[in-house]
């Protein structure tokens, strides 16, 4: 397969390049540059009418001039995958232009562990990767870069650590950007998830409290505690495994940074890793047990 079509264009976001550009440019203009420059971002993947403004908060923190490669990690929604998958496409299409896939990095990654290969139908059905492509194309316009899309399956804590160690060297390279695709709590009977802590206030406030608890643990950069939180609350964060890989990569990168700075031949200080959530939204403020909503959050990692 040479091209992966923009299969959700015209339904989840506008297919017309001019109209799409107007949407993205407006959302990016409205978003503040408050945590910049990003080395990794966490952003939602719902239809743009719901999640576009929230995603823009994350993309506003990117300095495109220094980026040569973008790793895009998104959860698998339609197939059961116990590991991670790669695309067979040479290009991912967007309404703006086609994005080149970095198959050289794919070869390097395969030297660490085995990856599955997405077929065209699986690839084009998956929205968690595609919904980030127009934002990536917009932010990186007129600049050369390559994309490394990774479809993340249902991983164990140990497998998240394995993939995190593999990606850590790329995370330490300032020419790379990581984009982690994740929505947060999916609440309502249609999601089979309806916990309600009445002490928090109305239902939407209970959802916010639950999400904020998870976001605080992600900000603490503690992979194990975030994993324990998910086991305890069962919060329906669909990108929990891509987030877990990022946290595992950060932990490994911190170890490598501390080790290199502590060597007798180095006078440099350990790198500082700072992850912060800068925006949070809900598709609907639930007040009844018959309501439903999906939460969206924009997170940004700085390394320096």
Give tens-digit pLDDT for 165-179.
999 999 999 999 999
Query: Which range among 64-78, 121-135, 231-245, 257-271 shows the weakest confidence by mean pLDDT?
Result: 257-271
> Does the pLDDT at position 114 exceed 90?
no
What's the CATH code of the domain at 195?
Answer: 3.40.830.10
Residue 36: C-alpha distances to residues 39, 41, 195, 225, 258 (Å): 9, 11, 35, 26, 23
Average pLDDT for the chain: 96
Q: What is the pTM of this model?
A: 0.96
As a whole number, mean pLDDT of residues 66-85 equals 94
What is the pLDDT confidence band of residue 267, given thresholds at 50, 70 and 90? Answer: low
CA nearest 222: which of 157, 303, 152?
Answer: 157
Tell me how far apart the terminal alpha carbons of the chain are, to the nearest angstrom.
Answer: 39
- Tell how far CA 286 is from the center of its chain: 25
> Does the pLDDT at position 63 exceed 80?
yes
pLDDT at position 3, please?
97
Total domains in the chain come to 1
> Does the pLDDT at position 264 exceed 60?
no
Q: Which residues constitute the domain of residue 43?
A: 3-303
CA nearest 51: which of 291, 296, 300?
Answer: 296
Q: In what order do the strands lie in the sheet with 91-92?
A: 3-4, 91-92, 99-100
> Does the pLDDT at position 191 exceed 70?
yes
> Does the pLDDT at position 266 exceed 60?
no
The three-state secondary structure class of 152 is strand
The three-state secondary structure class of 234 is coil
128 in Cβ contact with 75 (< 8 Å)? yes
4 in Cβ contact with 27 (< 8 Å)? no
168 in Cβ contact with 256 (< 8 Å)? yes
What is the pLDDT confidence band of residue 259, given thresholds at 50, 70 and 90? Answer: confident
pLDDT at position 257, please?
87
What is the pLDDT confidence band of residue 106, given thresholds at 50, 70 and 90? Answer: very high
Which pLDDT tens digit goes with each residue over 18-31? Answer: 999 999 999 999 99
Question: Angle between the 223-233 and 203-219 helix axes, to the nearest 10 degrees?
Answer: 160
Residue 260: C-alpha distances to residues 71, 100, 267 (Å): 25, 34, 9
């Amino acid at each position: 397969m040479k091209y992966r079509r923009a299969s959700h264009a015209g339904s989840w976001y506008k297919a017309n390049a001019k109209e799409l550009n107007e949407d993205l440019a407006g959302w990016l203009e409205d978003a503040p540059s408050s945590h910049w420059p990003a080395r990794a971002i966490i952003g939602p993947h719902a239809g743009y009418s719901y999640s576009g403004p929230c995603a823009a908060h994350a993309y506003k923190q990117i300095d495109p001039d220094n980026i040569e490669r973008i790793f895009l990690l998104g959860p698998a929604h339609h197939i059961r995958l116990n590991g991670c998958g790669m695309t067979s496409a040479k290009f991912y299409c967007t309404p703006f232009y086609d994005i080149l896939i970095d198959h050289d990095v794919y070869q390097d990654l395969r030297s660490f562990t085995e990856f599955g290969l997405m077929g065209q139908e699986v690839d084009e059905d998956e929205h968690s990767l595609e919904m980030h492509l127009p934002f990536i194309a917009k932010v990186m316009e007129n600049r050369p870069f390559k994309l490394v899309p990774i479809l993340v399956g249902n991983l164990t804590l140990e497998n998240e650590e394995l993939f995190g160690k593999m990606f850590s060297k790329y995370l330490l390279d300032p020419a790379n950007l990581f984009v982690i695709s994740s929505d947060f709590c999916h609440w309502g009977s249609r999601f089979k998830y309806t916990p309600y802590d009445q002490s928090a206030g109305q239902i939407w406030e209970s959802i916010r409290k639950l999400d904020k608890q998870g976001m605080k643990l992600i900000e603490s950069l503690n992979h194990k505690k975030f994993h324990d939180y998910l086991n305890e609350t069962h919060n329906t964060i669909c990108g929990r495994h891509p987030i877990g890989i990022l946290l595992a990569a950060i932990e490994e990168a911190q170890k490598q940074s501390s080790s290199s700075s502590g060597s007798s031949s180095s006078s440099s200080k350990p790198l500082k890793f700072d992850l912060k959530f800068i925006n949070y939204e809900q598709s609907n403020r639930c007040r009844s047990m018959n309501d439903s909503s999906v939460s969206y959050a924009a997170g940004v990692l700085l390394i320096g």
